[in-house]
Structure 1
Amino acid sequence: MCQPKIFLLAAGYHKQAQRPFSLWSFSNGKSILDWQTHAFEKALPGNQVNIVVGYDYQKILANHPYLNFSYVLDWEKSNALQSFLSVINDFSSPTLVMYGDTVFYPETLTRLIGMEGDAVVVIDSVWKQRFSGRSQKDIAIAETLNIHPYGEVEYTGLVKFSPKVMNWISDHRDSAAHSNRNFIDLINDIRDAGFNVAAYDVIGAWSEMNEPNDLVHFILGNKAETLRRIRPQLKKSEICDQITCTQQDWKNNPSLIIKRVQAQFEGQRLIVRSSYFEEDSWETSNAGVFESILDIDCNDTHTMRKAIEHVFLSYGNPCAHAQVLIQPFISNVAMSGVIFTCDLFTGAPYYIINYDDVSGRPDSITSGQKSDLRTAIIFRRNIDAVHKIDSRLVKLIEAAKELEQILGYNKLDIEFAIDKENQMYIFQVRPIAVKHDAHQINEKQLALFLQSAWQHFKKWQKKSPSILGDDTIFSGMTDWNPAEIIGNRPNPLAVSLYHYLITEDIWARQRAEYGYRDVRPAPLVHNFCSQPYVDCRASINSLIPSSLPEEVALRLANVYLDILKDNHQLHDKVELDVVFTIWVPTFRQDAEIRFKNRNISTQDIDILEQALKKLTARALVRLNEDTSSIKCLSERFVEVMGSHLDPVDKAYQLIADCRRFGTLAFAHAARAGFVAVALLKSFIQKGTLSQKRMLEFQASVSTVAGDFQNALDDHSVSVDVLIKQFGHLRPGTYDVNQTAYWENPDFYFDCQRPRMTQHTSCDGLVFTKHEREGFQAFLDALPTEIKVDEFIRYLSQAIQAREKTKFEFSRNLSVALDLLIQYGKEVLGLTREEVGYLTFDDIKALKIGQLDEKLIPKFVQLRKTDSVEKHLAKLPGLICCENDFFGYEQEKSQANFITRLSVVAELIFIKANQNEPLDGKIVVIPSADPGFDWLFSHNIAGLITQYGGANSHMAIRCAELGIPAAIGIGDKQYDSLQNGRMILDCHKGRFEYV
């Protein structure tokens, strides 16, 4: 048979992209034209492809100098048919014509060449469902024709004409070239002229290039199709042999299918896998929805039949084309898991690897049946960081890169396994279904942000005159815990307010006044890619008694840092399990364990013990003096709110007063609260108190949170009174985007809901003789004259003061945020969200006239862009070395379990506008902030928080109310949570799905 002449019609261009379709390129550097010419070369080796060009033809020629081109002079006024007729000069040969914006598989072209007919038109009978989610607009503009026996179908832009038809076209060239004629008209005319027009139905196996990702839509079909298409091109990994059968094939002759399987895979163990078109699409991923049956004996006909039927049944009511995939089962698995080639939620350029290297199962990740898994996160531009995490992952990333190169697409979800012989297997490749349109990603810019953060980290490794220690590490959950208080991706206003009110000076001033080392002017919190981190060296120094000799303090600083480096899970428990900050009865035995094989001598421990005893004795008598300024804060609040100042001036004054009279008192009260709780826990360890008695004591202490609870329970208290007293509270003390209670009173003060059953009242709790003797023994060991009753009073007042001072200072802050929202809207024309991109320095400059209000919107937009881009960076909770900026393994934090209770209940995540009932549910929230106190007005069964420590507000409240809780479970465990029924067992220290 005579080989056809080939014409590829690529004269036009994509109007939106303003470039020829042929030049659209993918991440592997290949273009659509490369794909098309490769397909022709494979189907018709040696045949010359004549490419008809017009728009920007010079670029096409420059990129493909080895191809044959014809130029259409009047391409702007020509459609595809006219372009073809203007360049054709041989009407005696079979001719194949294809649109320049369509792609087909080589086998389609091969079959087309072999088909008989005067004209063979390639059509698509499933055109309305060719790809998932095809819009009505796209369907409306499709080129369609009616052809027997299919009815209305889409013309794919591919047709083959015989020499007879070509001669007819030559005779009718002038009429065919008329401006309103197209290929559909030509095909209809050929049929009307009596020629035999045959149809080749590709049933969706083609693609029209409207956007670059369309090629990947084309290549990635269902599971079996995808694996079959990419298998021949893989060098870095392997895809197992496969057999597929359709639902129709199985219904017609299941025995034949089984015989075929047994013949091909004789003696092997097999896996029967789902491969359904509904399983994975570009709009949704149904990964794991359908069944797969593992480790089947190929020779066991009965088991094989049941497995295939079971997988088909998992589809529900599948169509006749639904497939099941059968492959050899990989049994000697060393590692298995899933790699995403971008961040799942933002599309940021990271490799996210979730894997299991313990169980030996090939499906432990996808089945969701194992929780003790590893997660590695690697920045695409610096994959060398993977070596320090797990060198075995290098092979995986190389395999993922090869797949990206083959597909020209870098947003893939790849299921893999590596066996004990180090062979890499690919089980599945699917597109990541999450849309990332909201995130404009500049990979180069993100790399610069990370580089800048890395340089800042390096700079702060240098020794400081006021801070001891050879180097430092940074943590988002240490000390004042910015990840909990302002979030791990706070807006600029929250960052600046937290800095001004706490982490610039107040934190260090409080420690110095208390008797610890004065580390000023060192800041506590640094920002890496707009994410807040505590300088652990500065924090540790600020918790070392100032009376220690310098050489002892230096040894302690370095040892404390070493303990933290060796035990990453303790970075949210530094004051409990790393640094000794007060003296407790168990100090000696704790110190011997903690300092074992460390550079701390017995003499150092003696000196530290004496210093801590003095500091602790002073702590027991200073609380009232330290917190006295809070009364002044309340008085000044009334004065400021009664003044005639403008909103921005009032906001400034409230914030300034908050720092002057509020946050230092709160810092002292928080330190006292920590001392009280630490002492109570030490009494449990010593045997002076039981856990139950400690909880009874905590429940007996009257706090602001308890007052709120009681006010809600008292139905005689009006909503107006509740708003006046508690309306300033908000979930997220520093976050302007969080609504205050007064803004949604119907929800926060819903008096119709059943209330939390109160913990048994223990007012007037009387300690036993044994307990009082234990307290006395503790006091006798300290250089103090206070009595047991005074000590008990201190424990109660310290717990109360922490809640009271925070309640008072947060009123100033919350009302200031309300005023800034008002000022932003009425004067600056800013939305509430945009107000979050102001800073406290802006407010100060506006107040004194240093900043023109007209400039604010521009500043806001610049900061918003900068912040959004930086927040795409993924950083670990603890930054210990330079490589951590480019790759790290996600830590599994040790949660703080509160109470010894156990509960089984449904999990529920708290949303911004919560309407679902919470009664009887285990509630999940991001932080242990007091603004979530309203939760306790519902009969919640338990609580889980992402951030928060053992002494955080919510930990104390749950202990008081007897609610089982896991406080501060960390990023990794929090991210793995999903809706479902869970057991929260605080006694055994676990939470898992049931």
Structure 2
Amino acid sequence: MKFGTKAETLELILPVIKSAEVLPQVRLSVKEWNSTCNEIVKKVMKNNWHDIDLIVRSSAINEDSCNQSLAGHFLSIANVKGIENIDKAIRDVIDSFNDNNEENQVFVQPMLKNVILSGVAFSKDPNTGGDYIVINYDDSTGSTSSVTSGSTNNTKVYYHFKEHNKIKDQNLCKVINLVRELEEILQNDSLDIEFAITEEKKIYLLQVRQLCVNNKISHTLELEKNSNLKEALKDIVKKFDQLNIHHPRLYGRKTIFGIMPDWNPAEIIGIRPKNLALSLYKEVITDNIWAYQRDNYGYKNLRSFPLMISFGGLPYIDVRVSFNSFLPAALEDNLSEKLVNYYIDRLIENPSLHDKVEFKIIFSCYTVDIKERIKILLNYDFTEEECIKICDSLRHLTNKIIDGNDGLWKKDIEKINRLEIRRDEIMNSSLDKISKIYWLLEDCKRYGTLPFAGLARAGFIAVQMLKSLVSIGVLSKIDYENFMGDLDTVSSNMANDFKNLSKVAFIEKYGHLRPGTYDVLSSRYDETPDKYFDWNFKEINKSTNKKKFVLSLEQLNSIKELLKQHGLIQDVLGLFDFIKIAIEGREYSKFIFTKSLSDAMYLFKQLGEDNGFNVEECAYSDINIIKTLYSSSKNLKDIFYSSIYSGTRSYEMTKQIVLPPLIVEGEDVWSFNQPSLEPNFITLNNITGKVVFPSESKRLKGSILFIPSADPGYDWIFSHEIVGFVTMYGGMNSHMAIRAGELGIPAVIGAGEVLYNKWKLARLIYIDCANKKVEILK
């Protein structure tokens, strides 16, 4: 069966379709309308449609093809009743064609009533070409067009691997059966289908067109790819099952995996990093460093446990390992087991909190509101005595960390300062490139990411302590905003330096930064400075209503009494000194260690180019070849080629795999709903602005910028007078959250894929941080 126009295709399918209903229609061409319009209106009315609501739909000749879709481009008019209104609606739809082609068509159908679920289904992943059925649906508004029109914030997205037959939701099962039947009828596996399901549990086919997929490949390669994808998914399920069983060195009866908890790889390296970025992140942080420093800070010893697991090239945090690492070292075994099980169960109950686990689920430090917060455990079979034990162990741990004289964070600041000296020694030495890369990364781990991990922990405790003073009413939300605005971080210094330093001096200081700290394909500031900065613009964003943070005498006395009541060893000034220095120290240590990391990546790129490999090829290599080359006499070119070849092939599969942000059970690998996250709104301000992206550097002024993730390398955006920004990934304590607070810029951090992809299609949006909402204006 060949595709016709929208209306013709529905007519052809009507006699043969078994899994769905097709509404009756009256179809007409523009030519027919121009010659016999009155007769056509009478024809519509002859169907006993006088007293029912109708819909007048476009069916243009050029509306859909295998190369382009003009879905939503032309007018459709719903809820039309009566002869005069039908006449006007048909004329309006014809006027929307704008090409004077008399072969264009319009068709009229009854309006579908009592809709409980509607949406669009793709028989192939439109983004990757992967062998998934992807269903975008709305089950809350009762509209048949809410998904296609973008008129709802409640759109849900469901992924289902085609060869998997278990489908839990009966309504979605109906949609999948419809997709499969249409593929058979049309002998086409790239379909875009509109559907609706009514209260009577009937599914209606509203439209089917060819899906425009950019990465077309031959049928033979398609079969091979899909077969390999199935095997890759089987391997992921097998690995999940292996890691999910009881482990004698871990508390907790099971685990789950997420892309955002703890060291949130989705924000730092993305959900599909190339092999160099993935291996670098594992090497300098998530394989060993993270656990060493957490152990040093008084938590359970998780050394030798990798925190991040690669599922087909997609990075996930082992949540059970992470939750174990937040247990105070002194906490007894039985209570530790009970607590980890509670944490995991709570996250399964509330998957939208997977980027907020330390704020919303776990207890990783002592705060002045903890005795109130920990009462929630009493609802989950914990005793008051157990709650006291948890609080006591957290108090001991926290006092050790925040100590003004012997606090671990002070030693970490001293250690990070040694890294810059050692970096200069390596870079100025006569060592070969392999040796320089090797030692830059070794020093980066020992004197960079190790103390950074400690300062990141101190920074988190600092923010938690500050937020706890707000939660009990000693500080206001405005006080919190003012404190964050008073911070003196690398980022705020960068803003001032951009205004006051020469271009040469500025690049000398900040040139090592790049958007995507671990991505060798992202150029450094000093490689393409004009791409990132407008050197003619020297006025930096300043919040007009920013006020200095000052404690009143009443607040000071209240906090003094609180510290005494809770057995915290710091005095008031010492506490705020710790909070300020810890947050600033985290940002400073990140700035310093990324110099060594960035230089190592730059030399790695040069090493590849010296041996005939371009930077795109180098991105597929594994950083661990440097250890091999440093410790052996193996042929450099052979090692490089083998690593690139392996990385390139594996990444072809990585691009096809789609997984949920939180994997709770093995079955989730085959089919899942993409959950909406709870975004983090920064500041209490509101703003309206046009939607732009980093590549549109000339349009950034006065705009709301959309970026998938945001690490320190994105600080260049603040030199362009943006009024707000939105990220797909990120937490409330991330670098860009701190940065937005400093500048008083409204930001939505960690919107998640569903909301981010919806909002980015708008031209103008309104962000209201105080009320935690985003509105599409046009």
| TM-score (structure 1 length as normaliser) | 0.75
Q: Deviations over 1:103-160 (max 9, x none)?
A: xxxxxxxxxxxxxxxxxxxxxxxxxxxxxxxxxxxxxxxxxxxxxxxxxxxxxxxxxx
Letter in 1 for 2:246: K
| Alpha-carbon separation, structure 1, partners of 2:565 and 2:451 | 28
Letter in 1 for 2:717: L
1:894 corresponds to = 678
Q: CA deviation at 1:754?
A: 4.9
How many residues are treated as equivalent by the alignment?
A: 766
| Alpha-carbon separation, structure 1, partners of 2:533 and 2:116 | 55
Q: CA deviation at 1:713?
A: 1.1
1:966 corresponds to = 748
Q: Deviations over 1:493-539 (max 9, x none)?
A: 11111111111111111111111111222110001111000011010
Q: Does residue 279 of structure 1 match 2:63?
A: yes
For 1:626-775, what aligned pairs fall within 5 Å after superposition?
Answer: 626-714=412-500, 717-759=501-543, 765-775=549-559
1:698 counterpart SS class:
helix
| Alpha-carbon separation, structure 1, partners of 2:58 and 2:647 | 47
| Alpha-carbon separation, structure 1, partners of 2:296 and 2:361 | 22
Q: CA deviation at 1:616?
A: 1.4
| Alpha-carbon separation, structure 2, partners of 1:596 and 1:295 | 54
Q: Does residue 392 of structure 1 match 2:171?
A: yes
1:788 corresponds to = 572
2:555 counterpart SS class:
helix
2:705 corresponds to = 923
1:272 counterpart SS class:
strand
- For the Cα contact (< 8 Å) 1:446–1:870, is it kept in 2? no
Letter in 2 for 1:422: K
| Alpha-carbon separation, structure 2, partners of 1:760 and 1:269 | 53
Q: Percent identity?
A: 37
| Alpha-carbon separation, structure 2, partners of 1:611 and 1:532 | 32
1:306 corresponds to = 88
1:871 corresponds to = 655
2:455 counterpart SS class:
helix
Q: Does residue 905 of structure 1 match 2:684?
A: no
Letter in 1 for 2:692: I
- For the Cα contact (< 8 Å) 1:700–1:761, is it kept in 2? no
Q: Deviations over 1:21-53 (max 9, x none)?
A: xxxxxxxxxxxxxxxxxxxxxxxxxxxxxxxxx
1:380 corresponds to = 162
2:526 counterpart SS class:
helix
| Alpha-carbon separation, structure 2, partners of 1:760 and 1:667 | 34
Q: CA deviation at 1:760?
A: 6.5
Letter in 2 for 1:669: L
For 1:333-482, what aligned pairs fall within 5 Å after superposition?
Answer: 333-384=115-166, 386-387=167-168, 390-437=169-216, 441=222, 442-482=225-265
Q: Does residue 848 of structure 1 match 2:634?
A: no
1:145 corresponds to = none
Q: CA deviation at 1:799?
A: 1.2
C-alpha change, 1:849 and 1:418, in structure 2 (3 Å) is same
Q: Does residue 560 of structure 1 match 2:343?
A: yes
| Alpha-carbon separation, structure 2, partners of 1:629 and 1:835 | 32
1:395 counterpart SS class:
helix
| Alpha-carbon separation, structure 2, partners of 1:383 and 1:833 | 39
C-alpha change, 1:502 and 1:778, in structure 2 (3 Å) is farther
1:248 corresponds to = 31
Q: Does residue 327 of structure 1 match 2:109?
A: yes
Q: CA deviation at 1:651?
A: 1.3
1:903 counterpart SS class:
strand
Which moves more between the two structures, 312-321 or 759-768? 759-768
Q: Deviations over 1:676-708 (max 9, x none)?
A: 111111111111111222222222221111111
Q: Deviations over 1:871-898 (max 9, x none)?
A: 2110000000111100000000000000
Q: Does residue 953 of structure 1 match 2:735?
A: yes
Q: Deviations over 1:822-847 (max 9, x none)?
A: 110012x1111111122122111112
1:597 counterpart SS class:
helix
Which moves more between the two structures, 595-604 or 438-447? 438-447
| Alpha-carbon separation, structure 1, partners of 2:515 and 2:42 | 63
C-alpha change, 1:764 and 1:284, in structure 2 (3 Å) is closer
- For the Cα contact (< 8 Å) 1:517–1:545, is it kept in 2? yes
- For the Cα contact (< 8 Å) 2:415–2:447, is it kept in 1? yes
For 1:803-822, what aligned pairs fall within 5 Å after superposition?
Answer: 803-822=587-606
RMSD: 1.6
Q: Which of 1 and 2 has higher RCO (CA within 8 Å, sep 6+)?
A: 2
- For the Cα contact (< 8 Å) 1:284–1:434, is it kept in 2? no
Q: CA deviation at 1:763?
A: 10
- For the Cα contact (< 8 Å) 1:449–1:870, is it kept in 2? no
Q: CA deviation at 1:764?
A: 7.9
- For the Cα contact (< 8 Å) 2:521–2:616, is it kept in 1? yes
Letter in 1 for 2:469: F
Q: Deviations over 1:237-288 (max 9, x none)?
A: 1212211111121111211000011112444432110000121122111111
2:53 corresponds to = 269
Q: Which has the larger radius of gyration?
A: 1
Which of these residues, 792, 802, 821, is aligned with residue 586 of structure 2? 802
- For the Cα contact (< 8 Å) 1:719–1:745, is it kept in 2? no
- For the Cα contact (< 8 Å) 2:115–2:197, is it kept in 1? yes
Which of these residues, 492, 503, 508, is aligned with residue 291 of structure 2? 508
Letter in 1 for 2:444: C
2:366 corresponds to = 583
Query: Please, which runs of 5 or more residues in structure 1 have no aligned partner?
Result: 1-215
Which of these residues, 716, 732, 744, is aligned with residue 934 of structure 1? 716
2:100 corresponds to = 318
1:618 corresponds to = 400
Which of these residues, 474, 487, 506, is aligned with residue 270 of structure 2? 487
Letter in 2 for 1:649: S
C-alpha change, 1:762 and 1:987, in structure 2 (3 Å) is closer
Q: CA deviation at 1:289?
A: 1.2
Letter in 1 for 2:749: I
Query: Please, which runs of 5 or more residues in structure 2 have no aligned partner?
Result: none
Q: Deviations over 1:206-234 (max 9, x none)?
A: xxxxxxxxxx7xx1121011111222111
| Alpha-carbon separation, structure 1, partners of 2:685 and 2:165 | 45
Q: CA deviation at 1:862?
A: 2.6
Q: Deviations over 1:64-95 (max 9, x none)?
A: xxxxxxxxxxxxxxxxxxxxxxxxxxxxxxxx
Letter in 2 for 1:723: I
Which of these residues, 64, 75, 78, is aligned with residue 294 of structure 1? 78
1:978 counterpart SS class:
coil
1:840 counterpart SS class:
coil
C-alpha change, 1:989 and 1:850, in structure 2 (3 Å) is farther
- For the Cα contact (< 8 Å) 1:756–1:940, is it kept in 2? no
- For the Cα contact (< 8 Å) 2:540–2:718, is it kept in 1? yes
2:245 counterpart SS class:
coil
Letter in 1 for 2:772: G
| Alpha-carbon separation, structure 2, partners of 1:338 and 1:760 | 45
Letter in 2 for 1:618: K
1:205 corresponds to = none
- For the Cα contact (< 8 Å) 2:236–2:311, is it kept in 1? yes
| Alpha-carbon separation, structure 2, partners of 1:760 and 1:402 | 60
Q: Deviations over 1:145-203 (max 9, x none)?
A: xxxxxxxxxxxxxxxxxxxxxxxxxxxxxxxxxxxxxxxxxxxxxxxxxxxxxxxxxxx
| Alpha-carbon separation, structure 1, partners of 2:342 and 2:433 | 50
Letter in 2 for 1:569: S
2:659 counterpart SS class:
coil
| Alpha-carbon separation, structure 2, partners of 1:822 and 1:857 | 15
Q: Does residue 600 of structure 1 match 2:382?
A: yes
1:777 corresponds to = 561
Q: CA deviation at 1:770?
A: 2.2
Q: CA deviation at 1:785?
A: 4.0
2:422 counterpart SS class:
helix
2:617 corresponds to = 834
Q: CA deviation at 1:848?
A: 2.3
For 1:180-191, what aligned pairs fall within 5 Å after superposition?
Answer: none
1:58 corresponds to = none
Q: Deviations over 1:603-660 (max 9, x none)?
A: 1101011111111111212121233211211110110011011222211111111001
| TM-score (structure 2 length as normaliser) | 0.96
